[in-house]
Chains A and B, each alone.
Chain A
Amino acid sequence: MSLFLHYLSLPYLLEGIELTLQVTALGLFGGLVLGLILASMQLSRFWWLAAFARGYTVIFRGTPLILQMVFAYDALPHIGIKLPAVLAAGLALACNEAPFIAEMLRAGVLGVDRGQLLAGQALGMTPGVLMRRIIAPQAIRTMIPAFGNEAVSALKNSSLASVIAVQELTLRSTQLASSTFDFFSIFFASGLLYLVLTSAVSVIQLVIEWRLDLDRARRPRKLADYLPWRRVELATGLALSDTVVPALASEPEPVAEPLPAASSESRAKRAAMIARNNVAVEVKDLAKAYGPQTVLGGLNLTVRIGEVVALLGPSGSGKSTLLRCINHLENWDVGTVQVGGRRLGFHGDGKRLSARAIANERASVGVGMVFQQFNLFSHLTAKENIAGPLRWVHGMARVDADRRAYELLERVGLSHRADALPRHLSGGQQQRVAIARALAPNPSVLLLDEPTSALDPELVNEVLEVIRRLVIDDGLTMIISTHQIRFADEVADRVAFLSGGAIVEEGPAHDVLSHPRNPLTARFLSVMGADRITEAAR
């Protein structure tokens, strides 16, 4: 025991820790840099970059580290690269760690919800901004435990540097054992030293996890949080307070005043006014197919400024695809899409723009989009979901962006939830934030892709109410795909019924919905229980 303690405190062994840490640090940070390069190569659009990265991974993940160390130390000098032992060991460890770290990074990046990427693109974020502001912050959070693992394994693997004469802890232990014959005391002591080092890594990992914990940052822990019933109260309270019993909620909620049903005269007057307006969106002969399956078959649609168009039709009829094409979130095969007179996504000569240029164009033309699944950025608060894109895409100052965010949250009745994370909001609240986010840069057109389809029935109305207000108060140009027939009748000027990727019937909303001429439309409406339209909109 006394021998064990003697070796545990022997400066000779403790000095070995310094080299162990140097090799580990070189391996980890070198591996991180190489891993970043590898991961971006693998995620790249160019197949040969991905293939090269694949090949590298196969080689360096498939051969033992000990051979790589010997190679870096003994083979590289033959081609004129004579690295000091510590650097050679660091290089070998870095090359070995890189494929593992690259896979971690790739998993982290691919693990970020695709919907959020679409939302970011729709907001006009360039690939760079998207990576920096949306993907990286979320990916890093999910990667920390894996990175902690990797750090521990790199620390242990650094012991293999002993084969190439790096005087780290393991080599010192074996030499000491050889000269003193105190084999076990020495190896127990160095084992304990390794254990202390790996425990330190674990502690660092936990501290980082704690510091990056979004809930910690938003809501300082209070005594009440530790009370046993707190969790239950949190879970149910949120849903209850804003939805089922809005009247009881202490916070201000949008008052759901029923709209005055539009009379036929006022509808006609509005239609005449819109007809004089300029064209906001013009879709011509739009066609798109996935292999043999036609998604859009030569579709034409013109929407004028201030007009609200509802897209109806069964699932798979092409409504969502059409909306995404208008925003150029998807490519198509044939046809043109013009927004505000500009061909989105193409140069004047018809050449396709880069992803970055399309993003900038989206931001300047101003096409807002609201998704079925809300697609809020889950690492940002409600306020930041709105203010962030204003700063990153439109270069707005922080104060101005915040003011705009609060203003919009106020309008959708959520100013009291400004600092809540999306996961702490109900579906209806999330969709209201998403609408506020889409409105923030003052888009010229707002696209809503089944904005209430993912909501529980009792949450649908709060969202519809917000959209109604937009129509009345803002006179915004909107294209809404929806299954809410009655709502379409209330807010839409025009209804277009899609089937099989084409518009089979379109016309003034009330006419089409109450007297469909196309049998497909009629059947769809009756299935959707729209028979009561006539009475409702009288």
Chain B
Amino acid sequence: MQKWSLSGATRASLSWRTAAMAAVLVGGSLLSVGAQAAPAGCAALAEKYPDWKGKTLVNAINPHTPGYEAIDPKDPSKYVGFDIDLGEEIGECLGFKLTYKAVTFAALLTTLASGQADIVISDIYATEERAKAGDFITYSKVFDGVLVAKDNPKKITGINTTMCGAAAAENTGYVEVPLVQALIPQCKAEGKAEPTLQLYDNNANCIQAILAGRADTYINDVNTVDNAVKAYPDKLEKAIAVTIPYSVGIAVPKDKPKFRDAVFAALTEIYKSGDQLALLKKWGLDPNNLKEPGLLTVN
């Protein structure tokens, strides 16, 4: 077999290769991602939470969301985006490095729960339901965009009865799925056809469903929707942006409260230092997303 460079492969799952080689390569790519210098308060945190210093942790991501987490089109061996930078800065603050494990959206929390990943930073909305599978440190407000075909042929105006009879593309496990399902009784009450749901594996497939005329709408994070419109300006448009009563969160295992507290403390430092706002701007995301870190845990 041909001898290819390893740098791309180490990103994900080649943990059977020598750990040393992986560390060197991941370290190298970390620098190139351009994580910012850790805030001043991190020095104290590193002393208070020394357990992860020098470790390499696994971050499970669903890398299909350009702006948050996706591979770098210029160098596909790297993941780039707001979440990636944020995670690496938390790591820098606490002294650990991250490798990435790409999984489907629905598998993010199961991967965490089975111990195959140590942390999930992947634009996942923190809900009570999900908090049963992992503790959440929330870090961003949620604005959803409603993606439709150009000129909005079905005249959809939001997650409301204008979606009756429409086909909505969603990712398996997305919080928008129950929101659309909740429309079914309302549509029935008004004597309209029910909305139907098409469940896909990733963001790209949902967008393709609209492009292929299979689905009428796709509701997701507004920045994701904006990126899709940017990629297909002739074919897609954003019908509207809506507020969703959730926050985006970092998920950590339920049985590691100390790790949760450490990440929470590190994130708070990053928020206070203004680095989080800078990152939003760097990735062209709406500064209104900024939110002071919080916790969501259920027992």
Asked if B247 lies at the interface with its beta carbon under 8 angstroms from chain A, I say: no
Number of inter-chain CB pairs below 8 Å: 116
Binds B, one of A103-111, A167-175, A481-489: A167-175
Report A277 CB to chain B, min CB distance, Å: 70
Q: Is the CB of A165 within 8 A of B101?
A: yes
**B14 contacts across to A, CB distance below 8 A:** 19, 84, 86
A residues within 8 A CB of B11? 167
Distance in angstroms between the alpha carbons of A11 and B66 in the assembled complex: 21
| A13 contacts across to B, CB distance below 8 A | 76
Q: Shortest CB–CB separation between residue B198 and chain A, in angstroms?
A: 17
**Contact: A19 with B115, CB < 8 Å?**
no
Asked whether A165 lies within 8 Å of B12 as measured between CB atoms, the reply is: yes
Q: Return the chain A residue nearest B117 by Cβ.
A: A165
Given A84-B13, A181-B232, A74 contacting B111 (CB threshold 8 A): yes
Whether a CB of chain A sits under 8 angstroms from the CB of B184 is: no
User: Which stretch of A51-59, A75-83, A132-140, A453-461 is in the interface?
Assistant: A75-83
Minimum CB–CB distance from B65 to chain A (whole Å) comes to: 7
User: Is the CB–CB distance between B204 and A174 below 8 Å?
Assistant: yes
| Chain A residue at smallest Cβ distance from B100 | A165
**Is A12 an interface residue when CB atoms closer than 8 A count as contact?**
yes
Nearest-CB residue, chain B, relative to A13: B76
Q: How far is the CA of A85 from the CA of B12 in the complex (A)?
A: 9
| Chain A residues, CB < 8 A from B115 | 77, 82
A73 to B201, CA, bound (A): 18
Q: Which of B13, B16, B66, B208 contacts A183 (CB 8 A)?
A: B208
Residues from 51 to 79 in B contacting A, C-beta threshold 8 Å: 60, 63-66, 70-73, 76-77
Query: Which residues does chain A contribute within 8 Å of B4, judged by CB atoms?
Result: 11, 14-15, 18
Residues of B within 8 Å of A393, CB to CB, are: none
Q: In the complex, which residues of chain B have a beta carbon less than 8 angstroms from the beta carbon of A21?
A: 1
Q: Is B107's beta carbon under 8 Å from chain A? A: yes
**Which residues of A from 1 to 50 have beta carbons under 8 Å from B?**
10-15, 18-19, 21
Q: Is the CB of A19 within 8 A of B9?
A: yes
| Interface SS majority for chain A | helix
A129 within 8 A of partner (CB):
no
Chain B 193-214 per-residue mask, 1 if CB under 8 angstroms from chain A, else 0 = 0000000011110011000000
Point out the residues of chain B lying under 8 angstroms from A167, CB to CB: 8-9, 11-13, 102
Residue of B nearest to A171 (CB): B102
Which one, B5, B15, B71, B111, contacts A175 given CB within 8 A? B71
Does B32 sit at the interface, judged by CB under 8 A? no
Closest chain A residue, CB of each to CB of B12:
A167
Complex Cα spacing A77 to B8, Å: 26
A15-B4, A18-B9 known; A84+B15 contact, CB < 8 A = yes
Smallest Cβ-Cβ distance to A163: which chain B residue: B104
> When A177-B204, A178-B70 are in contact, do A77 and B13 touch as well, CB less than 8 Å?
no
Shortest Cβ gap from A386 to chain B (Å): 45
Q: How many Å lie between the Cα of A84 and that of B116 in the bound state?
A: 8
User: In the complex, which residues of chain B have a beta carbon less than 8 angstroms from the beta carbon of A180?
Assistant: 73
Query: B76 touching A85 by the CB < 8 A rule?
Result: no
Number of interface residues of B (CB under 8 A): 43
Is A87's beta carbon under 8 Å from chain B? yes
A77–B114 CB distance below 8 A = yes
Contact residues in A for B9 (Cβ distance below 8 Å): 15, 18-19, 167
Which residues of B (223-248) have their CB < 8 Å from a CB of A?
228, 231-232
Q: Which residues of B contact A12 (CB under 8 A)?
A: 8, 71, 76-77
Chain A residue numbers with a CB within 8 Å of B204 are: 174, 177-178, 181, 183
- Measured between beta carbons, the chain B residues less than 8 angstroms from A11 are 4-5, 8
Contacts of A266 in B (CB 8 A): none
Kindly list chain B residues whose C-beta atoms are within 8 Å of the C-beta of A174.
Answer: 64, 201-202, 204
Residues of A within 8 A of B231 (CB): 181
Q: A86-B13, A175-B102, A181-B231 are in contact. List 19 more A-B contacts (CB 8 A).
A: A15-B9, A18-B9, A73-B111, A74-B113, A84-B15, A85-B116, A165-B101, A165-B102, A167-B9, A174-B204, A175-B70, A175-B71, A176-B73, A179-B66, A179-B72, A179-B73, A179-B76, A181-B204, A181-B207
Binding site for B on A (CB under 8 A): 10-15, 18-19, 21, 70, 73-75, 77-78, 82, 84-87, 163-167, 171-172, 174-181, 183
Residues of B at under 8 Å CB distance from A?
A: 1-2, 4-5, 8-9, 11-16, 60, 63-66, 70-73, 76-77, 101-104, 107, 110-111, 113-116, 201-204, 207-208, 228, 231-232
Closest 7 CB pairs of A and B: A12-B76, A179-B70, A178-B64, A85-B13, A167-B12, A181-B231, A74-B114
9 contacts between A and B (CB under 8 A): A18-B9, A19-B9, A77-B116, A85-B116, A174-B204, A175-B64, A176-B71, A176-B73, A178-B203
